[in-house]
Structure 1
């Protein structure tokens, strides 16, 4: 390790110790870190168990495939048709439009199909174990011009495990081992090749651990879906009162700690100002996309916003006069899931902060007493008539 790397390591260690042993907040931060470590340990145990089962199942499948290649297998027509139908959904957009017949290993395919899917379907069926011959009686259409070919969704076909969006436990294990080894080897080497290999290895390791594609990991081209959050809270107040409060985002700084201001700038459009890293303000704009009185409010960030997000809040009244508030939020933070993971370790990510914010909201609506630690503490109690605090 060169002198520059040593200095960075020492500086990082010093900053971490200062953060954890801060006189005011160090105790809470250490407790939060301990809880996350315990949770991570449980997650690792469950992941290892799932991976062990997946490896065992794949090993048994590989053995069965090998045995079938060494010994001729007699397959009934019903079993062969079932095997083929199980493959159709991977290669054609309208699998129910395809009729499959089998007799002594000879397969006949009938029904309408889109032209660009024919070759892929024939290749897939020919590769099915037990198929000796394929007769093509398909009705080829260049476009979706009949009812049987309308709707559906495009299929990508059989893809290599590491090219799929969701990796299997076995693929994640192999990729994680390769990525970890590459990172360890690369970071120990000098020159340009070593660090580059280390970065690639760390990226592969992060992809394997999180099972999220690289776009969501890095926050590049991932749209608004980097991190998904869902919370539900019950408020001891009538449905109308709770909805009135939420339909005015200007109220949010009165119970949210890091939301400095929400200002209406047009019809259904708002400009948000929140505390970013190190307290630096971050701004973005949103627009309301769905509004159903006393039922739901949905919004999304406008194109070009610093923070890309979308969310929806459902409101439902309960028999005892209380209100259930269900919040679903997706956002893509700077640096993607990697940035979110760092913020989560430090306890400053929106997922952690939302728990505290919702408790403040609940207390504010139920008691009318504004929280003193909100970004903009209200001076008077909540007014039931319009949902605004002065």
Structure 2
């Protein structure tokens, strides 16, 4: 009990000493008036910032409520007609403004749900942009024509002020607390009386406590923690040069029956009609997965794109872009896992897509060997696919 009384007395003594020191500092005959004026202005500015934050927070809450109402209305009435190309491009530009440091360097176009990104982008921003773009309502397929750079040095379109896509934001409640403390302190300083000094001390104490909490909140915000971009796992891209003309490469890719010769995870691809195929994939060592896949775009000899149909259990989209080189064709393969409407990817979906990621380099080598030699490569998967000896040409 005596220790508690001693500690309480020490705390009161320290508080009194702090208030006395503040009173001496702001009551100095020479500099006191200037110091009080500066502090009053700063506290008043903090109060105005708190009011602005309150207004912004109220607008944000209103926008979120309106968004929830729209989602609820769409759930009751159905998804409705797809957005126009102008609306879809506007949504994607808004997304780029949040995720990309130089959105002016990127051009986005849309044809129905088919979106094309072109231009320059930093390499560490490319994957997250493509992954998040698939989540925009109305996007069904993405064609990636972006040129990624590790650094903006030497790239004219990536010059200029480097804006950080996600700036840390202080907690509005703590900002309001700081503003209230600042206003209380400023009011107390205008009253030249012992009561005014006590009021100013109380306001400054509230302000100091809020600033300490704000600093702690900023240091522990998501912007200062290691980020795990799980969404980056939903898009893969690799490229390889094939010693064959773009026409030959296109013809090999334009036949779904050839896909099992490329992808180790794909056991069979059975044609349903001239644009659809039934795929059987190796989900795990003892499990298989079936999906209906259809062509979404074919432009000979430039690019091909395909996507699983909505009624399949596993969502998969892919595209192949062909660019002629001096020796043959540069093949750029993109695979993505578009999110299912209203549901996150299952553990089985993620595991299967990671399987594609592990095998993608070898898949491209198999594709290259198949097209250049015309011989179906041997597989070590033990599947029922044809063994070597069958010719492409």
Query: Is the TM-score greater than 0.5?
Result: no
Shorter chain as denominator, the TM-score bin is 0.3 to 0.5
What is the TM-score of this pair, normalised by structure 2?
Answer: 0.41
What is the TM-score of this pair, normalised by structure 1?
Answer: 0.41
Q: Which has the larger radius of gyration?
A: 2
